[in-house]
Structures are given as C-alpha cells and as structure tokens.
Amino acid sequence: MATEVLVPVLGESITEATLGEWLKQPGDKVAADEPIASLETDKVSVEVPSPVAGVMGQHAVSVGDTVQVGAMIATIDSGDGAAAAPAPAAAPAAAPTPAAAPEPETTGDTPAALSPSVRRAVLEHGVDPATIKGTGKDGRLTKEDVAAAASSKPATTSAPAAPAAAAPATGGRKEERVKMTRLRQTIAKRLKEAQNTAAMLTTFNDVDMTAVIEARAKYKDLFEKKHGVRLGFMGFFVKAATMALKDIPSVNASIEGDEIVYHDYADISVAVSSPGGLVVPVIRDAQDLSVAGIEKTIGDFGKRAKEGALKMDEMKGGTFTISNGGVFGSLMSTPIINPPQSAVLGLHRIEDRPVVVNGQVVVRPMMYLALSYDHRLIDGREAVTFLVALKNAIEDPTRILIDL
C-alpha cells in the first residue's frame, strides 16, 4: 500500500513552491518524519517530511518543477526496502509496449513540456528526447531517463561529438543556463518593484569607529564569557538605529495607499547570508533589547540561515532594514528599499583614512554610512538628521547607555 506525500502548508499567502532537491531516491528506506525533499519558496527552503515509515516510491515531479500546496509529489510504499529493487526493472519492461510508444514522441517534440532540469540534461548529454521512454508521471521524462539513454547508446552520443570538437577552435568558450531559484526570482521582483514604486534617494555620511572598536577590544572577552556570544558591531548599530528611529519616526514608517503608517516599535530586518543568497530575518521589538540580546538574536539567525532552518514567520514584517556590505569588502553602495519599508541603512567596510580632528590631520578607522529612503515620505532633512543621530551614538557609545 502506498501513502501519498503532499506539499505541506508553507505559510500565509504562499500557495506554491519549486522542488529544489530530492533527498531520497526510489527504493531508499525512509523513516517517519524524515525529510525526503526540499522545496524552495519565495523566502526560504522548506523540507518535506515523510508522513510514514517505509520505502521511497516514485517521484511524481522533477527538480525545478513548480508544485502547489496540497499537491502529491511522491509516494511512500510499505516495506523495508528489500522489495524496492525490482521497481527499476519494471520501467524497461514497459518500453516495448506499443500503446505507450507515441507518448515520448509527443513529449520530445514539445520542449516546453520538459522540466528545466530535464532540458538541461538533454543538452548536456546531447540526446534526442523524442527517442526516450519517459518513466515519470504521465510518461514524462526525468533526468534519470536521459542519463540512462545517454549511457546505453554510446554510438548515438558519438555522433554529436564531431560538431562539439570544433568548439576549441573558437577558444573553448562555454555557456551554462541555470534556472533562477524561486528565492532569487522573488528578490529580483521585489527590488524592481521598489525602484518602480518609491521615489528613492540615498544620503551618505561617515562615522569614526574608534570608540566602538576600543569598547569592543576592552570588553569582548568579558562579554562573550557572560552572554555566550561574540560582541560585534551590529549590536551597536541596531541599538543606535532604534534610538534614531524614535527621534525621526518617518524613517520607521510606511505608505499604505494614501495613508502613512507610523510604528511605535522597531522591527529591524537584518540581511544575513544563506546557501541560497541573502535572506532578511527580523529582530522583533529591537528597541527593547540590549546590545547582548541583539547580538544573540543575530547570531542565531546567521547560524540557522546557513543550515536552511529559518522559519517563514521570522522573515515577515520589519519596519527598517540594516544591510552590512562591509563584511564582503564593500566601500560604498546605494542599498535598495525592502517594500513596504521606507528606508534601509547600508554599512560598509572600516578602513583607516586621514581626517581632521581639532585642527590636526590624524588617521582614524572610518566607515561610510548610506541611507536609501522613499522621498515621498522622508524629506532630505529627516534623512540627514537620522544619519547624524546614528553617527553621534556610534562615535560616543555612552549615548546608547543613557538614551541620548
């Protein structure tokens, strides 16, 4: 008896996803609740667990296919895996059946019917999809079908080799086409939407990092011993930003229709790296957290982002974003707003530069700050005032302690 594996509920307003990877292949033994596939949504990757223990049955969809919530993507057969071995033999046995022959021809003659992963496999192996019997749902081709056809017909694959040999004469240049992940598609769509909707402008300032660097060097060991987390720079910037947002509430506001929504809380979105690209989890009520609490939250986000374990709810909302391109070596940039937010702060690398202090030229560790904002809501005066307030708090961290 086979149990269907369905696409789980992925979160509010999310109705579909892309199959990113199969973690179990047909015939593999599967435990209950063991992940068998990975789905890519608009925000994060989600693992699909097996509803029962048994043996992995047939895949109903291929990597790269779009699947709807509630759709069946595979089956789990009862047993311990021993009975699964004959399953691959059943597919070749069906090949001579005359009634099934026309289906692959139709599929092969219609490239649009092939999934992105199968189209890529066809190009890589140089085979004709019309000559291959599909073992997928409704006779569709799978990557395994293409690989099997390529390995079982050496004579067929040798024919395309002659034109391929001419490639080195042009310098051996190659191209590879890879379908954009759903996360990357969503990022592209939202960033372009921000450019098309907001009247975006960027204001710059620089900040002397001497005081923060000295405080970090003096207290980092005690801080880590007491709080169990390293003392970084983001804790200072997030805390200083929450204070500046309280003074300049329009930077923390958003536009909805013909209304301005002001927030009396600061939910700070912070960009962190994940295997699939940058994701932006949210530090809720950051104004109520200490520097230690902020560092703990960011550290937890970073760890789980690398593991692909961030949850949907942790990526929603946010009233203001901080992006630290400095960790990658960026000197200066113009960050793009994350709608429906109205502003984003860009941090950059720290480098020693000559500056004038009390009439003397001295070398100080300086960082450029960039505030991109929606000019429909935020005036230039407010943007500059926000950056100056942030600069003052970082250059004199005592202000953070006494809320000045």
CATH number for the domain formed by residue range(s) 2-85 = 2.40.50.100
What pLDDT does residue 149 have? Answer: 81
Question: What are the pLDDT digits (tens) for 81-132?
Answer: 544 444 444 444 444 444 433 333 334 444 445 655 666 676 666 777 777 8
Task: Give catalytic residue positions.
Answer: 375, 379
In whole angstroms, what separates CA 82 from the centre of its chain?
38
Note the helical H segments in 228-326. 234-247, 291-307
Per-residue confidence band for 27, with pLDDT thresholds at 50, 70 and 90: confident
The 8 Å CB, 24+ separation contacts for 147-151 are 147/121, 149/125, 150/125, 150/126
Q: Which amino acid, 104?
A: P
Which CATH number applies to 90-170: 1.10.8.870, 3.40.50.1440, 1.10.490.20, 4.10.320.10?
4.10.320.10
In whole angstroms, what separates CA 155 from the centre of its chain?
43
pTM: 0.62
Q: Where in the chain is the domain with CATH 2.40.50.100?
A: 2-85
CATH number for the domain formed by residue range(s) 184-401 = 3.30.559.10
What pLDDT does residue 404 have? Answer: 66
> Beta-carbon neighbour count of residue 347 at 10 Å?
23
Write the DSSP symbol of residue 341.
B
Sign of CA dihedral 146, 90, 87, 112: positive
- What average pLDDT is seen over the chain? 81
Percent of the chain with pLDDT strictly greater than 90:
39
Maximum alpha-carbon separation in the chain: 92
Say yes or no to pLDDT of 19 above 70: yes
Q: Where in the chain is the domain with CATH 3.30.559.10?
A: 184-401
Distances (CA, A) of 357 to 367, 380, 390: 16, 27, 19
Closest CA to 300 of 320, 321, 288, 282: 282
Question: What are the pLDDT digits (tens) for 57-79?
Answer: 889 888 888 888 888 888 888 87
